[in-house]
Amino acid sequence: MNPVRLFGIETEYGIAREDSETADPVVESMELVRAYLDGHFTRRWDYRGEHPHEDQRGFRVTELAQDKEEDLFAEQDAHRPFSFHEMKSDLVLPNGARFYNDHTHPEYSTPECRTLKDIVAHDRAGERILWVAAQRRNEVLGGRVVQLYKNNTDFHGHSYGCHDNYLVSRTIDFDKLVRGLLPFLVSRQLIAGAGKVGREAQERGFTPGGFQISQRADFMETELSVDTMHNRPILNTRDEPHATREQYRRLHLILGDANMCEYATAMKIGTTRVVLDMIAEGFVPSFELASPVEAIQVFSQDPDLKAVVKRQQGGTISSLEIQREYIDQARRVLTTIDKETEWVLQEWEQVLHYLENDPLLLIGKIDWVTKRWLLETFVQDEGIGWDDPWLASLDLEYHNVDPERGLFCGLEAEGRTTNVSREDEIQQAMKHGPLDTRGGLRGLCVQRFGEDISSIQWEGVHFNGKNGKLHLDLLGHLEPVSVAHCRSLLERAKSPVDMIESMAAK
């Protein structure tokens, strides 16, 4: 079993200026992030903790596919009146989240969370924070012209990500981690898919017609890779643990869709966490897929869930059968099942039952089912075909975070969605990080001593002191007891110096 349970979600949002077809997306994304600030931007994020070339398979790559694209970006950006770091506009918020411009997309990374209730609340807090920033930006522009979409495609051959991350013990052999995860991840879209009209590929653009389960499946190109922007893998092998390297690795998954349904978010994270617990207990699936990349696309293109793919050992298997294999083994493999795990297992069983027998019972719970129902209703009412370009526009509006325009927001306002978090919990998550993780500690540092911070990252915070720099190391604050002790010192301290001295005296 994993010694520490921590996870988080990074979401890139689509951004559009409806009053201008020539608006610079880099500038618009940068201005949106900065609009959330009450004062001037000051660079504080410490990029020294990022090592994208390190591979979990035990080597360091000399070059990533996206390096050339980033070099091209740098060349294209050379004419801009701001530096790379000014363009990134990297913020750490009072709730411990990171909010920045990922070149042409505003990106929100939740603070580390320990419970499904917290991760859902903080994911929703990200939507609200982005919407607040959009409203402030629109006030400057003089109209409701900036629109934000929590989705993964622009329907022109470009995909942007929603990455879920998990702290995993490094004692788990990486090959066993891969074997245990691949079939699950290929079929996880049954629960976590956001749904999408048409087909798409980076080199071919968008082809209208039909409906599929996942927005990201079209863009998966290989099983394993350290790359994220090209040659996209089902299982990303980047080795950036943001924790003690000898003890932990970070599982960085880039194949997932951005979910509007809170229930789908909880189940995406919850089922993946359960599978990781199973692997830690020694579970290995009884089969391997002959071609996981082909399988993830075949399953996505079959919303009726009838398709089967080849197993490496011979025979075929469906997405539902794969998911059942995992849940059937979970109760056999897991030695301890806490309350949250029991909830995941019960809901997982129910979702698979409904998918096979009556998917409409999952409207408001599972995004692809909800979106398919909305679009099917529209197709029937308007008498149009699935290749009508109108549907791509409606698909996009499902993900609009504007409460007056978003189709999902409309369903939520009508009480037709299943929520996991309460409104007061979302509001709290916009202001404060989780009480039991280092994400909350990071946010508390920003709240109490923000002006004294010289640099900050996932692993720690540097403060300016009279006699030099002061460092709060967050690497060791992973367990709730350690977090609680550090929080009590932070809350009582009158200054960063006072805090560091109190910690040294413990």
Residue 29 domain flag: yes
Q: Which domain holds residue 82?
A: 7-425
Say what the pLDDT of residue 202 is.
Answer: 72
d(CA 98, CA 388): 39
Give pLDDT tens digits for 401-432. 999 999 999 999 999 999 999 999 999 999 99
153 part of a folded domain: yes
Name 307's Cβ contacts closer than 8 Å, sequence gap at least 6. Answer: 298, 299, 301, 318, 319
Element (H, E) at 377: helix 367-382
Read off the pLDDT of residues 346-397 as tens digits, 9 standing for 90 and up. Answer: 999 999 999 999 999 999 999 999 999 999 999 999 999 999 999 999 999 9
First to last CA, the chain: 30
Do 93 and 172 fall within a single domain? Answer: yes
CA pair distance 134, 137, nearest whole angstrom: 5
Same domain, 104 and 244: yes
Same domain assignment for residues 478 and 408: no
CA geometry: angle at 260 spanning 363 and 350, to 5°? Answer: 40
How high is the pLDDT of residue 136?
Answer: 97
Q: What is the mean pLDDT of residues 6-11?
A: 98
Confidence of residue 67 (pLDDT cuts 50, 70, 90): low
Encode pLDDT of 235-255 as tens digits: 999 999 999 999 999 999 999
Q: Are residues 463 and 407 in the same domain?
A: no
CA angle 26, 260, 136 (to 5 degrees): 45
- Total domains, the chain: 2
Residue 65 lies in a domain: yes
User: Is there a catalytic annotation at residue 102?
Assistant: yes
402, 425, 448: which is the final residue of a domain? 425
Domain shared by 417 and 446, yes or no:
no
Percent of the chain residues topping a pLDDT of 70: 96
Q: What is the mean pLDDT of the chain?
A: 94
Q: Please list the residues that pair with 212 across neighbouring strands.
A: 196
pLDDT for 228: 86
166 φ, ψ to 5°?
A: -140, 135
Q: What is the spatial distance between Cα 114 and Cα 280, in angstroms, rounded to a whole number?
A: 18
In a domain, 432, yes or no: no
Residues 133 and 169 in one domain: yes
Judge if 389 and 471 occupy the same domain.
no
Tokens, residue 438: 């280092």
Q: Are residues 447 and 409 in the same domain?
A: no
pLDDT at position 68, please?
A: 58
Buried b (16+ CB within 10 A) or exposed e, 344-375: bbebbbebbebbeeebeebbbbbbbbbbbbbb
Q: Which of 425, 448, 474 is the last residue of a domain?
A: 425
Residue 330's H or E segment, with its range, is helix 319-333
Q: What number of residues does the chain have?
A: 506
Indicate whether 118 belongs to any domain. Answer: yes
What is the CATH number for 393?
Answer: 3.30.590
The pLDDT of residue 1 is: 45
Residues in contact with 378: Cβ distance below 8 Å, sequence separation at least 6, in sequence order? 384, 390, 391, 394
Mean pLDDT of 78-100: 90
Print burial letters for 250-276: b (CB count within 10 Å at least 16), e (below 16).
Answer: bbbbbbbbbbbbbbbbbbbbbbbbbbb
What pLDDT does 495 receive? 93
Q: Which of 390, 425, 460 is the last residue of a domain?
A: 425
Pick the most confident of 38-42, 80-84, 301-305: 301-305
* Sign of the dihedral defined by the CA atoms of residues 254, 256, 259, 264, in that order: negative
**DSSP letter at 104?**
S
* Pair 301, 358 in one domain: yes
The pLDDT, as a whole number, for residue 297 is 97
Domain annotation covers residue 33: yes
Task: Concatenate the DSSP letters of all residues of 254-287 into one string.
Answer: --PPPPS-HHHHHHHHHHHHHHHHHHHTT---S-
pLDDT tens, position by position, 254-274: 999 999 999 999 999 999 999
Measured on CA atoms in the order 207, 213, 216, 220, is the torsion positive or negative? negative
Identify the band that residue 2 occupies on the pLDDT scale cut at 50, 70 and 90. Answer: very low
The band of 39, judged by pLDDT with boundaries at 50, 70 and 90, is: confident
Nearest residue to 364 (alpha-carbon basis) of 345, 346, 372: 372
Residue 1 included in any domain: no
Residue whose structure tokens are 């990080």:
433
* Statement to judge: residues 419 and 493 lie in one domain: no
On the CB side of 282, CA atoms within 13 Å amount to 3
* Catalytic residue (choose from 102, 302, 388, 402): 102
Give yes or no: residues 345 and 408 share one domain.
yes
Does residue 430 lie within any of the structural domains? no
CA dist 114 and 119 (Å) reads 8
**461 shares a domain with 384:** no
Partners of 91 in the β-ladder: 99
